[in-house]
Amino acid sequence: MESRQRKVNIDELLDSIGEESRVLGDKGRYVLDVAPIHTARAESVTFCNENTEKGLQMIRNSNAGVIICSADLQFVEDDYVDRTLILVSRPRTAFIRIMKRFFPEEPVKYGISPMAVVEKEAEIHPNVYIGPHCYVGRCKIGEGTAIHGNNYIYSNTEIGKNVIIQAGAVIGAEGVGVKRNADGEVEEFPQMGGVIIEDDVRIGSNTSIMRGTMENTIIRRCSTIGHLCNIGHDVIIGEHCVISSHAVLGGAGRIGDHSQVSVGACIRPKTEVGNNVLVGMGAVVTTNVLDGAIVFGVPAKEHGRNV
């Protein structure tokens, strides 16, 4: 990452982490940038999430001046002669906080691209970014939201504050709501609901979120939806959830707060996944999942507790 040429000392790093930590090595060191552990230099801060012998080797082989690492690792004095180690319980989380405070991305410049099409009935806060080749219907969009290029936002969609929607997403399209009649012919169920996306949600590129049938599809605050996901009609995703790339959530499903659906997993329509659940990669969930479970497999079965 490009250096901001602003010296950040150890005390400032510790303050930004905001949790119990222990420092090994020179406390007078400073950093100028962040970098991956294998390319970091003496003026860089990096992190190591491994808490095994592999982690020790990664740290010993790194040129980083400051490394955020696991408090579970056992070090000898030679490990921190030429570097400073900050030991915490969650290295990745600590590093995220450092990046956000001292090395943030360049802020988006608010405004609506002249190549975007926005319906005049849309209610859009002045501090919103809408990129080129977007369509925005009769929607409500809150302050600080960034909608990148080539997004299609159908009418009857409500987007909260500080939402980020990456390129190519479709929000509010009609889902597959059909039934066969007595002659075996397919008849479509009219879908008149909308989509509600609460504050601080992140939505990946080329993801589709279907509108509800008569109520709303809802993404609760602070949740993240990955790239190339399909969120069916009337789905409700709780707060602080992670829906990883290529996941498919069938219509009218429920995902509880603080749960994670891993890459390529599929949730059967009308299935309820509880709070603090971990659904493994490629899992096919066909029955309800209780709070705190770890499930994976085809069909998915419980294999532990997410503590």
Domain region containing 14:
8-102
Interval 200-231: pLDDT, tens: 999 999 999 999 999 999 999 999 999 999 99
Q: Which of 79, 102, 125 is the last residue of a domain?
A: 102
CA distance 14 to 121: 48
- CATH code assigned at 183: 2.160.10.10
Give the angle 175-177-181 at the CA atoms, nearest 5°.
155
Residue 252 has pLDDT above 70, yes or no: yes
Q: Which of 38, 125, 133, 233 is catalytic?
A: 233
192 and 291 co-located in one domain? yes
Q: Report the CATH number at residue 38.
A: 3.40.1390.10
Q: Give the per-residue pLDDT at 3.
A: 46
223 in the same domain as 98: no
Question: Around Cβ 115, how many Cβ atoms within 10 Å?
Answer: 11
| CA 267/CA 14 separation, integer angstroms | 41
Which of 102, 136, 154 delimits the end of a domain? 102
How far does the chain reach from its first CA to its final CA, in angstroms?
34
Determine whether 133 is an active site residue.
Answer: no
Higher pLDDT, 188 or 298: 298
User: What does the alpha-carbon distance between residue 74 and residue 76 come to, in Å, rounded to a whole number?
Assistant: 7
Beta bridge partners of 225: 203, 243
pLDDT at residue 228, as a whole number: 98
- State pLDDT tens for residues 275-285: 999 999 999 99
pLDDT digits (tens, 9 = 90+) for 88-144: 999 999 999 999 999 988 888 999 999 999 999 999 999 999 999 999 999 999 999
Cβ pair 237, 220 in contact under 8 A: yes
Max CA pair span of the chain: 79
Question: What local confidence, expressed as pLDDT, does residue 236 receive?
Answer: 98
Whole-angstrom distance, CA of residue 91 vs CA of residue 247: 27
Q: Three-state DSSP class for 127?
A: coil
**Total domains in the fold of the chain:** 2
Residue 203 near residue 227 (C-beta atoms within 8 A): no
Answer whether residue 162 is part of any domain. no
Question: Hunting for tokens 């040429």 — which residue is that?
Answer: 5
**Helical (H) or strand (E) element with 14:** helix 10-17
pLDDT band for position 4 (50/70/90)?
low
Say yes or no: 294 and 184 in one domain: yes
Residue from 227, 182, 184, 189 nearest 206 by CA: 227
Please give the model's pTM, rounded to 2 decimal places.
Answer: 0.88
Helix and strand numbers, DSSP H then E, in the chain = 3, 37
Chain-centre distance of CA 47, in angstroms?
A: 20
